[in-house]
Chains A and B, each alone.
Chain A
Amino acid sequence: MIKVENLTKRYAGQSAIKDLNFEVGQGEIMGFLGPNGAGKTTTMRILAGFMPPTSGRATIAGFDVFSQSLQARARLGYMPENVPLYNDMRVNEYLVYRAALKSVPSRRVAERVGDVKELCGLKEVEKQLIGTLSKGYRQRVGLADALLHEPDLLILDEPTIGLDPNQIRQVRELIKNLGKQHTILLSTHILPEVEMTCSRVIIIHKGRIEACDTPDNLLGKIRQAGGVVVEAKTASDNGAEELKKIPGVRNVMTAVDGEWKIFSLRVESGLDVREQIFRLATDRHWAVRELTQRRATLEDVFVELTHPDLV
């Protein structure tokens, strides 16, 4: 659906993105991750035909986004960051206008506008001026607009930014459902969102792709994959010293909660050391009130790739 080859964009001498290469297949939900200023919006704007790349090539459904821009644009629904809208139009009026602009046949306009209003929960504000809408509703108008012409591909730039937790859930559900019929490229820096919705993830940092894989594979690849949390009363023992001796444990951090000690262990990936910890505790007569394997999250992957000093 999307094919990006050696895509580069330079602003005033500085590269926003450098030599990007990736593909998004039909029906995938691709998450686009990266810290602020990593080049996510730039890439999406190029794909949406809003600005040309400095060099390289990108195609959507086989149409070059620059030289066959009109055909490419007709096949995608784009929701820009912060959703700029005409504040002086009413929701209904805006959607009808956008439908006409996107070549929805006039006999189908009413039907399509009705459908997207239903889907995005805009029925109750259809007569309201867009300028009076809350951030959440504006976001939904943007999404409804992107869906109007039933595009094969949806490009959503930060679809959940500025929403409250309930709204984030609703939008996430919506995106998941849309993924059944559409190919979706969405950018975000809310990581649980990606884990829950995306079939593949691209992590981009300083204009380069650091990783591109399924969320599960990314978690498998990470060096310090797992961790174990142990809460124990260690009596006279130091605790950390003994735990460090278990093979596979890389380092131990200790926190104190009254007479309990809380140890956070970093463990080599693929190892489960809980049994050894249990044996150690019984041998040394420690009282244990928690022994948990913590799964690595995408957050760990993200931090490791984009900010190694924080690991």
Chain B
Amino acid sequence: MHKFYTLLVREVRSYFHSPIAYVVLIFFLLVAGVDFYFQVSFMNQRQVQYTVQEAFFNSVFFWFAFVLIFPLITMRLFAEEFKLGTIEPLMTAPVRDWQVVLGKFFGALVFYLVLWIPTLLYFAIFLRITHEPAAHSVGAYLGSYLMLLLLGMFYLSIGCLTSVLTKNQIIAAVISFCTITLLFFLGLVQYILLDVSSATRDLLGYFSAIEHMVTFSRGVIDTRPIVFYVSMTIVLLILTHQAFQSRKWRL
């Protein structure tokens, strides 16, 4: 546990040692801020059926920035260690493979969560200025941020897996970006392919992150996506661990 914590701390620190963290942080917040501003001005001009908070988490703007951050966060995790050769001192120290894998995954998760903290301010500022809450209930906030956590875990674990497979960060980033984009927008297929059977549509809907976000941001906590994302994350981390161990035999 102590070693896991040591690895986790180093991983989180290394984000803030490199300019990547600040670039991602600034540009992500820029997009999120513009998104929030647009949603509020849009709603100022007409009658709508949803709240500011729902609008914020379900806009195209938001999705676009959202899928892009995962490859940026995860691409360096393993690939950089392989490239620099620092994997050698790391793995000749008395640490277990799973400690390294979990240290890196949770390190990325901590950074991802740090990315979201400033967005809480948006709602606080909104409340202060308009004296109106941005959502109907506290549950809506909880639901949205819970969904962000679940999606974050799932997509970061995809990024971990792609990073462990190569020592080239660009390759890791491209593969995880494409995979995450396909998965994220899978739910849209049901609106595009109108001739597919309703069973297929239901199935695709079940995988649709967009649908899940709509539900959760209303404050409806559905357990099915929770089970889905948590179990997928575990599966992907097990695969990452396997791929990481296999490096010994591929050398």
Contacts and interface: CB of A to CB of B under 8 A. Distances in A.
Interface of A: 11, 45, 48-52, 70-71, 73-74, 76, 78, 80, 82, 84-89, 97-98, 100-103, 142, 145
Interface string B83-107: 0111111111111100000000000
Nearest to A103: B94
A84 B84 contact: yes
B248 A73 contact: no
Contact of A52 (B89, B95, B248): B248
A45 B87 CA distance: 12
28 contacts: A11-B251, A49-B92, A52-B248, A52-B249, A70-B96, A73-B93, A73-B94, A76-B92, A80-B85, A80-B89, A80-B92, A82-B85, A84-B84, A84-B86, A84-B87, A84-B89, A85-B86, A88-B18, A89-B14, A89-B17, A98-B93, A100-B2, A100-B6, A101-B94, A102-B93, A103-B2, A103-B3, A142-B89
A50 B6 contact: no
A97 B14 contact: no
Contacts of A80: 85, 88-89, 92
A101 B92 contact: no
Contacts of A142: 89
B85 to A, nearest CB: 3
Contacts of A84: 84-89
B7 interface: yes
A102 B95 CA distance: 8
Interface of B: 2-3, 6-7, 9-10, 14, 17-18, 84-96, 248-249, 251
Given A80-B88, A86-B86, A88-B14, A101 B95 contact: yes
A48 B95 CA distance: 13
A101 B6 contact: yes
Contacts of A78: 89, 92
Nearest to A47: B92
Contacts of B14: 86, 88-89
A75 B90 CA distance: 15
A101 B188 CA distance: 46
A51 B7 CA distance: 21
Contacts of B7: 101
A50 B18 contact: no
Given A52-B249, A145-B89, A97 B6 contact: yes
Contacts of B3: 100-101, 103
Contacts of A52: 248-249
Nearest to B247: A51
A88 B17 contact: yes
B246 to A, nearest CB: 11
Nearest to B14: A88
A49 B94 CA distance: 9
Nearest to A84: B85
Contacts of A145: 89
Closest 7 CB pairs of A and B: A84-B85, A88-B17, A100-B6, A74-B94, A73-B94, A48-B92, A80-B88
A83 B251 CA distance: 19
A145 B94 CA distance: 13
A70 B9 CA distance: 22
Nearest to A79: B89
A89 B86 CA distance: 12
